[in-house]
Amino acid sequence: MSDAFEQWKSTQYAIIDALGNTVITDATTALRWQEEEMDRAEQCGGVPLWRIGETVLDDDHSETVRISTVFSVNNLGYPGHSPLRYETLIEGGKFDGDKQRYATRDEAADGHRIAVQRVYTGQS
């Protein structure tokens, strides 16, 4: 196998620690973390660490549009490229199905704001 694929495979799974840092891990630990984080958020009425943004708007045709930005325990990138751990997805409206992926939490937060503005203004 190529070095790029081996590097990609070695960074396939990750979690977010209590300080917000991405920590590379194995599949079992990543899936357990995701479940525990969901339980923690439900119990305390908070937001899971993996949810970066969640916005619901009405577009210019009064259709409900949901913009969601999340951390993924899986590397969403391709071999030979930097890991992409965050994704913004637009559901509904003119931009239904549009998605963007990011390497960092800061990029994802900025991308979420841009997606919200894009839906709000209706501009491509």
Tell me the pLDDT band of 59, cut-offs 50, 70 and 90. Answer: low
Cβ–Cβ < 8 Å for 118, 112: no
Its domain, for residue 43, covers 3-121
The two structure tokens encoding residue 11 = 């960074």
1 pLDDT more than 90: no
In this structure, of 37-46, 62-71, 80-89, the range with the lowest mean pLDDT score is 37-46
The answer for 92, left when phi > 0, alpha when psi is -120 to 50, beta otherwise, is left
- Count structural domains, the chain: 1
pLDDT in tens, 96-113: 999 999 999 999 999 999
pLDDT in tens, 16-34: 988 888 999 999 999 999 9
